[in-house]
């Protein structure tokens, strides 16, 4: 694969079914397939409805989406406005071929063009290939923070 064979473009609503397939693929890889509860309709509304909350870039090869990077802007009381990379997903057969590099570097450019104070993301502590990938950019991979969450049902039943 040559970099010029992969096209990057902003995601469209019609891409959402494929994005959801890749999200499920990632959840299986991360050993948490049961945690994907978002519906296609919810994803489409959140990205392309009246009040979109996320944006994404897709990587295409011959018109087929082989990966994507989905992000939103978050505010840190310590750092200010930052790009939050929610997911960087490359389908398994395309990993190691430069697709992740293209997407990640697009996210860096996006943060720069938007005038943000940096970029942040999460990576599982056992995902050595991903950690090594991010370390190529001299990124800081922290420790010590635990993730907290409430489910949709917990919020609804409060």
Residue of 57, 75, 84, 134 marked catalytic? 134
- How does DSSP classify residue 51? S
Domain that holds residue 134: 3-152
Burial bucket for residue 104 (CB in 10 Å: 0-12, 13-18, 19+) = buried
User: Domains in the chain: how many in total?
Assistant: 1
pLDDT at residue number 152: 82
131 domain-assigned: yes
21 domain-assigned: yes
Does residue 134 have an active-site annotation? Answer: yes
Q: Give me the CATH number covering residue 90.
A: 3.40.630.30
pLDDT at residue number 3: 52
pLDDT at residue number 9: 98
Contacts of 26 (CB under 8 A, 6+ apart): 87, 89
- With 90 as the cut, is the pLDDT of residue 1 above it? no
Percent residues over pLDDT 90 in the chain: 84
pLDDT at residue number 57: 98
The helix or strand, by DSSP H or E, that contains position 131, with its residue range, turns out to be helix 128-135
């Amino acid at each position: 694969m040559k970099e010029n064979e992969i096209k990057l473009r902003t995601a469209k609503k019609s891409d959402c079914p494929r994005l959801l397939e890749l999200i499920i693929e990632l959840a299986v890889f991360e050993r948490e397939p049961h945690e994907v509860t978002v519906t296609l309709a919810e994803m489409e509304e959140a990205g392309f409805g009246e009040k979109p909350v996320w944006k994404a870039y897709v990587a295409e090869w011959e018109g087929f989406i082989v990966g994507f990077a989905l992000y939103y802007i978050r505010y840190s009381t310590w750092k200010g406005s930052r790009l939050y990379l929610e997911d960087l997903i490359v389908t398994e057969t395309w990993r190691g071929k430069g697709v992740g590099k293209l997407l990640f570097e697009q996210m860096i450019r996006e943060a720069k063009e938007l005038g943000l104070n940096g970029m942040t993301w999460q990576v599982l502590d056992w995902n050595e290939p991903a950690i090594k990938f991010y370390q190529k950019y001299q990124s800081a991979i922290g420790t010590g923070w635990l993730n907290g969450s409430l489910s949709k049902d917990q919020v609804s039943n409060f």
